[in-house]
Structure 1
Amino acid sequence: MLLYILIFAFISSDEVHPGDMGYGITAFRHNRIDTFQVEIIDVIPRAFPRDKHIVLARIWGRRVDTTGVATGMSGSPIFINGRLLGALAYAWEFAKEAICGITPIIESMESVGLQQGTDLKSMGLSPYNLPLVATGLVPEVIDSLANVFTYPIVTDVTGKVEGDSIFTGSPIGVLLVDGDARLGAVGTCTYYEDGKLWAFGHPFLGAGDIQLPITTARIHYVLPSLSVSHKIASLGNVIGVTHWDGIMGIYGVLDEPPDWLIMDVTIDDDTFHYKIVQWRHIISTFVPMLMYNSILMKQPSRDELTYHAELQISMPDDTIRVALMEVGTPLTFAKKVAGLIDMIEYNPYIIPHISRMKVDCRILHDILRASIDDVTGGLTPQGDTLELLVRLQIYNGDMEYKRIAIPIPQHIDISKLNIEIGNASIWQMRQLDSWTTLLHELENIPAGNALVTQLQYEMTPLPQRFVHLAPTANQRTSLILQQYELTPYHIEGRVSGKLTPHGVFIKGGQ
């Protein structure tokens, strides 16, 4: 990797004054570094916590006069009197002049490790947008990302570039996703020295101590716009990782490998390979989105289909396997995956570290859906088993029957039994008290093609004066048994009932 090492003297925000002149550097086209002129307007004191300042400046030049401040210029180094002042980082919306806010480099370096917020919008300032460069993502996923990120998303048709030089003023990228799809932000390196770099001048995710992969980048062109001009860019090779993403910019180190979640998604006979950064908010966002992306890459139909999937989720000390079956649109299935990942990532016991995730998914174009139409049956003559016959209304109009046998606990008052037959949504997890219990329950959650039967026992209410002594005192029933049978169909609906004194099942308990 080619590195340009230039050591610059710094100038602090206390040393600059209104009217001071200087210049900035950034890449406008083909990574060629161009300069633009800078005039200091004033210093806003204590704009950041801990007495950190912002320097206001006016910029102009041959290209800037055409484009104004473009997305991707965040981090562009600003020099006053031949010394590095800091990063172009902020701008006013709808400004008629190219006015910017500069984050001082000395204060950026001092702020590493200090995660505190501020509200620059009260002054009309906002961090200037970093363009998110996307490759390998279908339009529906890009539209969904627009609801997650405030940054503009630019589709890159050129793909990964091989340029790998980095220096003060060069474009750089920060990745969120790599592999068969890539997504990352493009900005400018404010300062590079001895394997360390500072960039952007404002937060990317604002996650503090986080390892985000740093890449080289190539600027192809700056697209002028009456609203916001954009740098058209491509992301390059991974060259290091961030160690800090804070309010005054990012700080990173080169030649350190990133820590990825490796995600392999097999749709029928095609496998898509992805890598996702290790941060729970990004994982919970991108695992379902990349699942959605893989399905639409394999087959473009947005109609309802049938999905059978097995997920293998590996962590340093645990591996779980979860079966899913769903009938719906690709987005419906992706949301099912999202619910599972959220239960893992946002559990109350530990901060998990998912190192690898494999998804094996089969897609059927037949709609395998059935609804519970009727339930009949009752106790066997011995009284120890409840035999039910469930009539299923199949999506194509046919009827099918499923026999269920449920053991009845001895010495139980059958008049107090409530019986419920339904789909997987009625399944109840047992009381969770640990990470191990959660993983066990996740592995045993029935898939969407399960026909679930539950026996609930009516509880005798406690006197009102004792209610505060028992957390479950207000519960009317207690689950004493649940089981499920797998069917070829995604089950919908539910039926509840009771037993007559003679042991006959009556819907609704009449």
Structure 2
Amino acid sequence: MTERRKKMHQLCVLSVLLLVFSFSNGQIDRTRYITLDEVRTDMEAYALTVWYGTEIEKFPLKILSVVRNRQPGEDMILVVGQDERFKQAGAVRGCSGSPVFIDGRLAGALAAGWSAAKEPLYLVRPIEAMLEVGTLPATEPPGQGRRLIKMDVSQPLDLETVAEQVTRAFASRSAGDRPLLPLATSLPAHVCGELAEGFRSLGVMPIPGGLTASAVSDATDETPFERGGVLSVVLCTGDISLAGVGTVTEVDGDIVYGFGHDFTGIGAVEFPMGDGFVHSVIASRDMSFKLATPGTVRGTIQFDQYAAIRGQIGKMPTMVPMRITVERFNDPQVRTYACRLAYDREYTPMIARTIAQAAALMRGPLPPEHTVRYQGRITVQGGEPIAFENVSSGRSVAEVGSELLSTLTLLLNNSFEVVKPESIELDMVIEPDDSTAAIWSARLSQAVVKPGQTMTADVMLQTFRAERIAASVELTIPETMPPGKYPLHLLGASAYNSFLNQNAPQRFRVVDAESLRTGLNRVLNMPRNRLYAVLPVPATGLTLRRHELPDLPPSRMLLIQDARRLEPIEPYKNWIENSAGLDKIVSGGAQIELTVEQP
């Protein structure tokens, strides 16, 4: 580092320390800022923002009122735009954070408006509240702090249930009267429409722009962060981009304030911070917005609280590389999408699901009859990777996305150890055929067998178009099998999974980091395109937490079942099984009585 750069860095650090010290002592530089108690309606006011490109323009405002206690403990300034472009467009989303100057001093930022209003009305967040961001606890004010996703691991591991739980948690966070925040994206409109529900659960409304950050980097590379400039919170960059786009309110040294409201409201964060380029302002009666593309990542958003976001220039964020390969029936080319995701233990799983599903849909929606064959790999720091492979049919990319969301959420939010992902890889092959089939009927090659014999179960499957196909699976009876009548279960993958959860919940119970990884690998790699034959057999023994203790003598069982023990103890259940691979995803099940005779 040169001597000049060292001095500049020292000055930046000193200015930030002075700023934080002044606000922690309730002081503010009144030569630079105007406080709420000084504001009068007859004062001259204007805002700075970008209407096109990266050029910052000045827009006159008229002060209408100081709105006290708009919400408990929250005061705002009500203004109306005087520029003809503002009058034509009304309140514009993307102007959030635009600095407002009153009497030549910075008063705050445009923070909220009314889309259906006939005039360009805005509420201005006072600068005092914005400059407090990062100096107060992340939970201030009440209800706006980080609400960690609490995973319920008391029940056997079920990825679909976890995905529903996470989606509900995000939906509840974005519920209420809070408007959806605009999210600039390079995704085409039809993909945004297909994934609308997922975007809503994130509390955002995607605005397709068709360009990634690399497409506008030449226009923004030399643009510094300054008052009124474009400010982006980058969730994903690379071949697919997702970013919240607003405006810079204040720059003090290497510290940037913007938006005038929160983006996620979860407090301390590590989101990539970038600039951006405004292509146009789209005026609409329903909602006017800036059509923008996020620019180069140049720092990190470190605080995301109710009054503003705050970032640091030059401090580069942690990002997670994600590579997706898609081979589609209607595309002669195999497409690869290389992206980098923002790292956050709550948001990264949701972003990864969105990007994976979007990549599969880029060349159009899937037809009603389709099959998705996929395999993936999640690499984590200092641990074994989680690898998975399976097939789905008739559910678009819902199962793929659900598994990715659940797995990442469980890994990043587990209460046993800190897990940081190093990379995410996903390969998908999409075919225009339905691969589902239901069990129609079943019979045994012999209903009466002796220990040691091998019998065959012949199953008739009914496909999507009511075609019948035959399948079979063999099972060898144990030499030690006592005589008697036994139920033989012939199951598809879903029914087989239910059988395991009921009869061996200990195999899917999460009690530590090791059992989490083991359970994930077991659930993720349970093939859907197999026919399972399961025959319960007599067993003695117990299960203790996730440990199986078969063939225990009665004396040991009595000792272990002491009522004073706190660990849950359950009877050990045993069975023999076999499976046959098919080119169909089997659903349903059948049960046939099997008689075992004396040898």
User: If the length of structure 2 is used for normalisation, what is the TM-score?
Assistant: 0.72
Classify 1:419/1:335 alpha carbon distance in 2 versus 1 (closer, same or farther; 3 Å). farther
Aligned to 2:55: 32
What is the Cα deviation at residue 441 of structure 1?
2.5
1:440 is aligned to 2:513: no
Aligned ranges 1:340-489 → 2 under 5 Å: 340-341=406-407, 342-344=409-411, 347=414, 349-350=416-417, 352-372=419-439, 373-377=441-445, 382-384=450-452, 387-393=455-461, 395=463, 397=467, 399-406=469-476, 408=478, 410=480, 414-415=484-485, 417-425=486-494, 426-427=496-497, 428=500, 430=507, 431-445=509-523, 446-456=526-536, 478=573, 480-481=575-576, 484-489=579-584
Partner residue, 2:149: none
- Bigger share in strand: 1
Alignment partner of 1:198 out of 224, 232, 257? 257
One-letter code aligned to 1:435: A
**Contact 1:212-1:242 within 8 A present in 2 as well:** yes
| Secondary structure of 2:368 counterpart | coil
Residue 334 (1) aligns with residue 334 (2):
no
Does the CA-based 8 Å contact 1:138-1:293 persist in structure 2? Answer: no
Please state how far the C-alpha of 1:45 moved relative to its aligned partner.
4.2
Q: Give the 3-state SS of the residue equivalent to 1:108 in structure 2.
A: helix
Alpha-carbon contact 1:457-1:477 (below 8 Å) kept: no
Structure 2 contact 97–249 (Cα < 8 Å) conserved: yes
179-188 or 93-102, which deviates more: 93-102
Selected match of 1:284 from 343, 346, 349: 349
- How far 1:182 moved relative to its partner? 0.8
**Residues 1:499 and 2:594 aligned together:** yes
Query: In structure 2, do the counterparts of structure 1 residues 91 and 457 end up closer, same or farther at CA, with 3 Å as the change threshold?
Result: farther
Q: 1-side partners of 2:290 and 2:576: how far apart?
A: 61
- Are 1:58 and 2:80 an aligned pair? yes
Q: Which amino acid aligns with 1:223?
A: I
- In 2, the alpha carbon distance for the partners of 1:147 and 1:332 equals 16
Residue deviations 1:400-433 (CA, integer Å, cap 9, x gap): 3323225548465744x44322122222261332
Which residue, 300, 315, 322 being the options, matches 2:388?
A: 322
Residue 132 of structure 1 is aligned with which of 174, 183, 186? 183
> Secondary structure, in 3 states, of the residue corresponding to 2:516?
helix
Q: Is the 8 A contact 1:377 1:386 kept in 2?
A: no
Aligned length: 488
Partner amino acid, structure 2, of 1:20: M
The one-letter code matched in structure 2 to 1:454 is V
8 Å contact 2:412–2:419 — kept in the other structure? yes
Which of 567, 571, 585 is the aligned partner of 1:490?
A: 585
Instruction: Determine the C-alpha separation between the residues in 1 that align with 2:285 and 2:422.
Output: 45
Deviations 1:6-25 (A, max 9, x none): 99811222332343332211
Amino acid of the structure 2 residue aligned with 1:198: Y
TM alignment of 1:104-115, pairs within 5 A: 104-112=126-134, 113-115=137-139
1:468/1:328 CA distance change after superposition, 3 Å: farther
Q: Which moved more, 1:237-246 or 1:51-60?
A: 51-60
Which residue in 2 is equivalent to 1:222?
A: 281
Amino acid at match of 1:156: G
Asked if structure 2 preserves the Cα contact closer than 8 Å seen for 1:423 and 1:493, the reply is: yes
Distance 2:419 2:44 in 1: 51
Query: How big is each residue's C-alpha offset from its partner over 1:462-501, in whole Å with a ceiling of 9 and x where there is no partner?
Result: xxxx99999989x999454555443332222211233336
Identity of aligned residues (%): 21
Whether contact under 8 Å (2:115, 2:287) holds in the other structure is: no
Task: Return closer, same or farther for 1:389/1:254 CA change in 2, 3 Å cut-off.
Answer: same
Give the corresponding residue for 1:155. Answer: 208
Distance 1:488 1:95, change over 3 A: closer
- Mind listing any 5+ residue stretches in structure 2 that lack a counterpart? 1-11, 16-28, 145-175, 328-333, 541-561
* 1:63 counterpart SS class: helix
Secondary structure of 1:147 counterpart: helix
CA distance in 2: counterparts of 1:354 and 1:421, whole angstroms: 39
Task: Provide TM-score, normalisation by structure 1.
Answer: 0.83
Shift of 1:324: 0.8
Q: Does 1:144 align with 2:195?
A: yes
Cross-structure match for 2:373: 308
Question: For residues 126 and 340 of structure 1, what CA distance do their matches in structure 2 show?
Answer: 28
> Counterpart of 1:315 in structure 2: which amino acid?
V
Deviation at 1:189, TM superposition (A): 0.2
Deviation at 1:381, TM superposition (A): 5.5
**Paired residue for 1:506?**
none
Alpha-carbon distance in 1 for matches of 2:564, 2:40: 68
C-alpha distance in structure 2 between counterparts of 1:481 and 1:348, whole Å: 35
Relative to its length, the structure with more helix (as a share) is 2
**Contact 1:459–1:476 (8 Å) recurs in 2:** no
Q: Deviations over 1:144-169 (max 9, x none)?
A: 23533554432113443121312111
Conserved in 2, the CA contact under 8 Å of 1:84 and 1:105? yes
Q: In structure 2, do the counterparts of structure 1 residues 281 and 31 end up closer, same or farther at CA, with 3 Å as the change threshold?
A: same
| 4+ aligned runs moved over 6 Å, structure 1 | 5-8, 125-129, 457-460, 466-473
* Alpha carbons 1:22, 1:78 under 8 Å: kept: yes
